[in-house]
A and B are shown apart, each in its own frame.
Chain A
Amino acid sequence: MSKKILLVEDESALQKSLGDTLREDGFEVISALDGETGERLAKSEKPDLIILDLILPQKNGLEVFQSLKNDELTRKIPVVVLTNLERIEHVEKALEMGAKTYLIKANYTLKEILVKIKNVIEDDLKEKNKG
């Protein structure tokens, strides 16, 4: 069964390029263009991984993250933060909340992001098998 990834990102251009890359690699991709939709889809679709931008309309990424952590159903879904915010306070906050990685868009190619995402999913699987 293919893994399901929820991509919460308001730039439709990025939804397309990253979404297409993930789909090409066999992932199932669900898109959310704002924070509220992202949170709702995380709860109803239970994806295997969430890629979360921090700058989002309606509900920002950190708010979405917090409410996912507060919910028993979504608490364990690994979250990868993918954003252009690189202020140390944002990085620290996201990692503190349990983000698996914090990726700054400008510093990575799509291929590198794909590798990071696969690693996170693999680690998560190992963890689950252990427990």
Chain B
Amino acid sequence: MLESLNPVSSCKKYSISLWQCPQFLFVVMGIVIILAIIVTYSLAVLKIGDPTIVSLVVLVVGAFLLIMNFTITNSFEKMAEVSKLKSEFIHIISHQLRAPLTNIKFSLDFLTSTKMTQTKEQQEEYYDILRENSTRMGDLIDNLLTVARIESGSFPLTKTEVSLERIAQKLIEKFKPFALASNVKIMLFSADHSLKVLADSLWIEQVMENFIDNAVKYTKGGGEINIKIYKKGNKVFYEVHDNGVGILKRDQVFIFEKFFRSANSLRKQTEGTGLGLHIAKKIIEKMGGKIGFSSQENKGSKFWFNLPTKKDV
């Protein structure tokens, strides 16, 4: 009960700054109004001979109140905007969860209602669908939780010295079967084996994996992926080049947006949660680096990030 009367704590709850928080601004307004009345009254009583000063004070106080009002209205607008985005977000999540859920539902429907006896192989195909789609839902939920953690700020990073080259080698090994199946060759170019960055090794691995995963996914029917690691200034760069399908020009602005889907909302990306690159951007920025890409339709894409090198002792 008392908690709700404390404007500072309730403003923290909405994670907006104090001067944008309606509760706090209302308290300030109240104090200003009371003060204004007292000051104006005492001035009028004490300096009754000088009405110019009295009216000047009234004008200043009036102007202050006007600005305050404007700020409050503005912050309400912002909150309404945020709430609109949130419902849009929920709409998209529900839709993203529904697709695998429908697959699971229909597979169970078929397995339980079919009149013909299924061979073991036929059944196995349906079990694969069930397995695949529950993983898909699980991945989406994992990603959503990561986004929520990033947005609320409760996102601990433990920075250590990390060799990007070593992680890249590990990832290439991991992607080998997948790359082989898609007829894609992955090559690593790294001149300086001693290069190290300051980063959280777990998260940086996730970002690096996301780049390679995208590159393989969008290099359909065979191609080449080149991973380059090099130092420029006091930054270490990690680049993934592919000669895949590329990204449409009109879609490029949205590439790091949450749940980005191409300009036409009815035209879906191939499978994926639409959160990978959004998370990557947040992680890299949080570790003090930069992220970017360049792409040409039907020619391929290049995704890169950089991170500060480890401080030389």
- Residues of B close to A119: CB separation below 8 A: none
Contact with A along B237-263 (1 / 0, CB 8 A): 000000000000000000000000000
Q: Does A10 contact B (CB under 8 A)?
A: yes
- Residues of B close to A106: CB separation below 8 A: 98, 101-102, 105
Within the complex, what minimum Cβ distance (angstroms) separates B284 from chain A? Answer: 29
Q: Assuming the A-B contacts A55-B267, A57-B270, A58-B267, are A111 and B109 also in contact, with contact meaning beta carbons closer than 8 angstroms in the complex?
A: yes
Q: Assuming the A-B contacts A16-B125, A62-B266, A105-B98, are A24 and B115 also in contact, with contact meaning beta carbons closer than 8 angstroms in the complex?
A: yes
Q: Does A54 contact B (CB under 8 A)?
A: yes
User: Nearest residue in A to B129 (C-beta to C-beta)?
Assistant: A13
Q: Are B110 and A21 in contact (CB under 8 A)?
A: yes
How big is the B interface, by class? 20 to 34
- Residues of A close to B264: CB separation below 8 A: 60
Listed residue (A20, A21, A56) with the most chain B CB atoms within 10 angstroms of its CB:
A20
Q: Does B99 contact A (CB under 8 A)?
A: yes
- Residues of B close to A70: CB separation below 8 A: none
**In the complex, what distance in Å separates the CA atom of A60 from the CA atom of B267?**
6
**In the complex, what distance in Å separates the CA atom of A59 from the CA atom of B264?**
10
Q: Are B98 and A13 in contact (CB under 8 A)?
A: no
Q: Does B34 contact A (CB under 8 A)?
A: no
Q: Are B109 and A110 in contact (CB under 8 A)?
A: yes
- Residues of A close to B155: CB separation below 8 A: none
User: Nearest residue in B to A13 (C-beta to C-beta)?
Assistant: B103
Q: Are A14 and B268 in contact (CB under 8 A)?
A: no
- Residues of B close to A21: CB separation below 8 A: 109-110, 113-114
Interface residues of A in 4-52 (CB under 8 A from B): 10-11, 13-14, 16-18, 20-21, 24
Q: Are A10 and B109 in contact (CB under 8 A)?
A: no
Q: Does A129 contact B (CB under 8 A)?
A: no
Q: Are B266 and A110 in contact (CB under 8 A)?
A: no
- Residues of A close to B105: CB separation below 8 A: 106, 109
Q: Does A78 contact B (CB under 8 A)?
A: no
- Residues of B close to A109: CB separation below 8 A: 105, 109
- Residues of A close to B99: CB separation below 8 A: 11, 84
Within the complex, what minimum Cβ distance (angstroms) separates A15 from chain B? Answer: 10
User: Nearest residue in A to B113 (C-beta to C-beta)?
Assistant: A111
Within the complex, what minimum Cβ distance (angstroms) separates B111 from chain A? Answer: 9
- Residues of B close to A57: CB separation below 8 A: 267-268, 270
**In the complex, what distance in Å separates the CA atom of A62 from the CA atom of B125?**
31
- Residues of A close to B101: CB separation below 8 A: 106
Q: Does B214 contact A (CB under 8 A)?
A: no
- Residues of B close to A24: CB separation below 8 A: 114-116
Within the complex, what minimum Cβ distance (angstroms) separates A60 from chain B? Answer: 4
Q: Are A20 and B103 in contact (CB under 8 A)?
A: no
Partner among A10, A17, A58 whose Cβ is within 8 Å of the Cβ of B106: A17
Q: Does B95 contact A (CB under 8 A)?
A: yes
**In the complex, what distance in Å separates the CA atom of A11 from the CA atom of B101?**
12
Interface residues of B in 75-113 (CB under 8 A from A): 95, 98-99, 101-103, 105-107, 109-110, 113
- Other A-B contacts than A16-B125, A17-B107, A84-B98, 8 sampled, CB-CB below 8 A, are A13-B107, A18-B106, A24-B116, A57-B268, A62-B266, A84-B99, A105-B98, A110-B106
> Can you name 15 A-B pairs with beta carbons within 8 Å?
A13-B107, A14-B102, A14-B106, A17-B109, A18-B106, A21-B113, A57-B267, A61-B266, A62-B266, A84-B98, A105-B106, A106-B98, A109-B109, A110-B109, A110-B110
Q: Which B residues are closer than 8 A to A by beta carbons?
A: 95, 98-99, 101-103, 105-107, 109-110, 113-116, 125-126, 129, 132-133, 264, 266-268, 270
Q: Which A residues are closer than 8 A to B by beta carbons?
A: 10-11, 13-14, 16-18, 20-21, 24, 54-62, 84-85, 105-106, 109-111
